[in-house]
Structure 1
Amino acid sequence: MSGTAAPGVAAGPVEWLAPDDPVLSWDGVAELERTADGWLPRRIPGGRLATTLSQSFASYAAMPAGVRFGVRTDAAEVTLRLNVTADSAPVDVRVDGALVRRAAVSGACEIVVPLAPPARAAEPAEAGSAAHDVEVWLPHLGHVQVAQVGFRGHRALLPAQRPGPRWVTYGSSLTHSMFAAGPSETWAALTAARRGWRLHNLGFAGEAHLDPVVARTIRGLPADLISVELGINVYLRESFSPRSWGPAVCGFVETVRDGHPDLPLAVITPLASPTRERIPNKVGLTLEQVRDGTVAAVRVLEALGDRNLHVVDGLSVVPVDEAGEHFADGLHPTADGEHVLAARIGPALEGLLRPPAAP
């Protein structure tokens, strides 16, 4: 194997785990698929992907945005054996919430990561020292197969405990986060980490077209909060007309409601895109009209009795006059812009969660 291997920091044998070992507490995955080169974590079940009739959707759906595994351990180091496509995002390793390694990956690679948090990095690693929460975030862009995960210098190795609320979020490249500095610094990852939420990211770059398989997936996932970022792909790809867009929004939300009739569900309308706001696309929709039609669909569902449906106005997240400051290309947030989105969308979503039920 080739890659970015670092020198080991502890003596003794490595305990190797297969990716489906229950000690590796995965989050943000619907299934782990065994392949010839390892295990492919999927955010959406692979068996029904063909129903989209889109190779592009299938490709983006196989990218592990928001996918990570966590352990509670006193190990001195973790070793990752991965098979990664070229031009992928990096791998992030966090210890007690702090980023200790951001590693570029490509091809068949092995990465050895010391697990001492920053404050202890200069101290010698000793087996049996205080345990820490270790979380490995796979690249949010590119395809990753996990072959093996190894730990060295440990006495304790337990699955991560994640008691926080489950948040499922769906959307376009704005949710997939194309320019984030790393997989743990997308706006969705930042939003979840700051609040202790369990994120399941269903952002698909260029592919947020209200596919029924996505609605059915969300319907079946455990959740305490759901958000759907809608509209920008519909405008750019002309996938719905002025006649069909509103009913499609209603149908998607109602399918989700079949599994989650009472949960808070936030509909995030398109963020600003200055060159597209009032320019009709080939089917006659402006971005303003997409935004208005999305809100109209929400109001219809509210009138029909949905009491926990909410709108997050995309123009309140990034107004038109701030797009140049926070977007890399007039559409996608920069790495710093991801933090801006987290700071603005996070509180809006947090306010929708119900207080914990009394025991």
Structure 2
Amino acid sequence: MAQTEVQCDPGSRPELWQGAVEWTAVDDGWQPWRLLPEEEPYAYAPELYARARAGAGVRFVADVTAERLEIELSGASEDHKPVDILVDGELVSRQPVAERTVATLELAAPGRVEVWLPHAGECRVHGLRLIGPSATATPATPRTRWVTYGSSITQASASPGPSQTWPALVARNLDWDLTCLGFGGQCHLDHAVRTTIDQLEADIVSLCLGINIQGGGTFNPRTLPGQLSSFVRGVRRSHPQAPILVISPIISPAREDTPNAAGLSLSQIRELVTRVVTDLVEAGDDKLHLVNGHEIFGADDLAMLPDGLHPDGDGYALMAERLAPKLSAIAPVS
């Protein structure tokens, strides 16, 4: 029987791709963006936008009938991570991505196929092809749309693969449609992030706030509460019915009681996050929720915090295990 080749790249079949805010054509491929590209000239944050071109949480998801899948990728930076391919929820292939890589998978039977792009390092998609006598790809059914924002801990660069970051693990466990706005070293309440969240469709939003603010000395004790309040209230205005979960910083022993250049220790930032969220809830936002980061990753978990800041793969799995029920408990009933 003659073989059929079905093109499923982001340009040909955008409905089969999830997790990207936007795609742009670049050379002979497609660049995923996790922030609105038109905001880049006005963000004055090249490091933030470099992270926004990494594919954390970006994936192909479809019910596939084919004998073979091929995806062609290129890594545009030296720190890119591997690509993961899952079939019916099981990881079946993990391949490194070089300057130009073709990852292939033989498919034994029809099933749900997910291809998770590298979660760190800029990456471009040059093609995704399904090959077989009657190759088809059907979009996944609509699911709860979850937007999560945070730092390198949310981007989870130290996880072994893109399908094993804590947001990916939560989304896979709950069968949610993830948009991951985790940006290593760049979680500073930027307007470009707020503008992006404003324009995304979201059934639930989570915000993991504080660690980069402490590390970068972004705000001082006078300016931080107002910035936190403005950011959260802005998300609420654009998503009036969505539950919002604010997660204060997980543990980082060296930073807990050591003031930064702006005069704030991590424990003080955690207290300010708690104060702001509590004030907003008391002012009437009954869909706003708070989780203390120590409940998600605390003093008993330090063996999984090798650099004193970032969990390892087991640590991210633990975070997912603890966060999934908290997110599920406040999510709207689908």
TM category, shorter: over 0.9
Q: 1:78, 1:318 → 2: CA distance?
A: 38
Q: After superposition, what is the alpha-carbon deviation per residue over 1:263-298, rounded to whole angstroms, capped at 9, x for unaligned?
A: 110000000011110011111101010000011111
Structure 2 partner of 1:65:
56
SS at match of 1:280: coil
Q: Judge conservation of contact 2:83–2:95 (CA < 8 Å) in 1.
A: yes
Is 1:84 aligned to residue 75 of structure 2?
yes
In structure 2, the CA distance between the partners of 1:154 and 1:203, relative to structure 1 (3 Å rule), is: farther
**1:197-276 paired onto structure 2 within 5 Å:** 197-276=176-255
Q: Which moved more, 1:145-154 or 1:339-348?
A: 145-154
CA distance in 2, matches of 1:253, 1:193: 26
Displacement of 1:51: 2.3
| Contact 2:5-2:135 within 8 A present in 1 as well | no
Alpha-carbon RMSD across the aligned residues, in angstroms, is: 1.6
Distance in 2 separating the partners of 1:207 and 1:165: 26
CA displacement 1:164-192 (0-9 Å, x = unmatched): 21110000001000210100000100001
Say whether the 8 Å CA contact 1:42–1:63 is kept in structure 2: yes
Q: Provide TM-score, normalisation by structure 1.
A: 0.89
- 1:112 and 2:104 aligned: yes
Q: 1:283 to 1:18 in 2, by over 3 A?
A: closer
SS of match in other structure, 1:179: coil
Tell me the residue number matched to 2:322.
344
Any conservation in 1 of the 2:71–2:104 contact (CA below 8 Å)?
yes
Question: Gaps spanning 5+ residues in structure 1: where?
Answer: 1-9, 117-129
Equivalent position to 2:125, from 146, 159, 166: 146
Is this contact kept in 1: 2:4–2:133, CA < 8 A? no
Partner in structure 1 of residue 264 of structure 2: 285
Query: 1:25 aligned to 2:16?
Result: yes
**Mapping of 1:36-47 within 5 angstroms?**
36-47=27-38
Once the two structures are aligned, what percentage of the paired residues are identical? 38
Higher mean alpha-carbon deviation, 20-29 vs 241-250, is at: 20-29
1:133/1:160 contact within 8 Å kept: no
Q: Offset of 1:238 from its aligned partner?
A: 0.2
In the aligned structure 1, how far is the partner of 2:259 from the partner of 2:79? Answer: 34
Rate the CA distance shift 1:296–1:247 in 2: closer, same or farther, 3 A. Answer: same
The CA deviation at 1:71 is 2.1
Checking the alignment, whether the CA contact within 8 Å between 1:37 and 1:83 is kept in structure 2 is: no
1:24 to partner: Cα distance: 5.5
SS in 2 for 1:168: strand
Letter in 1 for 2:260: N
Which letter does structure 2 place at the counterpart of 1:335?
G
Which stretch shifts more, 311-320 or 20-29?
20-29
**Matched letter for residue 61 of structure 1:** A
Q: SS in structure 2 opposite 1:351? A: helix
SS of residue matched to 2:253: coil
Tell me the residue number matched to 1:308. 287
Tell me what 2:45 maps to. Answer: 54
| Greater shift in the superposed pair: 276-285 or 104-113 | 104-113
- The total of aligned residue pairs comes to 333
Contact 1:71 1:157 in 2 (8 A): no
8 Å contact from structure 1 (residues 172, 232) kept in 2: yes
Alpha-carbon contact 2:20-2:33 (below 8 Å) kept: yes
Deviation at 1:305, TM superposition (A): 1.6
| Structure label with greater radius of gyration | 1
Distance 2:93 2:320 in 1: 22
Q: Deviations over 1:95-147 (max 9, x none)?
A: 1111110001110222222223xxxxxxxxxxxxx521111100011111111
Cα distance change on mapping 1:24 and 1:353 into 2, 3 Å: closer
Q: Distance in 2 between matches of 1:319 and 1:243?
A: 27
Once residues 59 and 323 of structure 2 are traced to their aligned partners in structure 1, the CA distance between those partners, rounded to angstroms, is: 22
- Stretch of structure 1 that moved more, 200-209 or 154-163: 154-163
> What are the within-5 Å matches in structure 2 for residues 122-137 of structure 1?
130-137=109-116
Q: Deviations over 1:30-78 (max 9, x none)?
A: 1110011410011111010222211111100111100001222221111
Q: Structure 2: 5+ residue runs without aligned partners?
A: none
Equivalent residue number for residue 3 of structure 1: none
Compute the TM-score of the two structures, normalised by the length of structure 2: 0.96
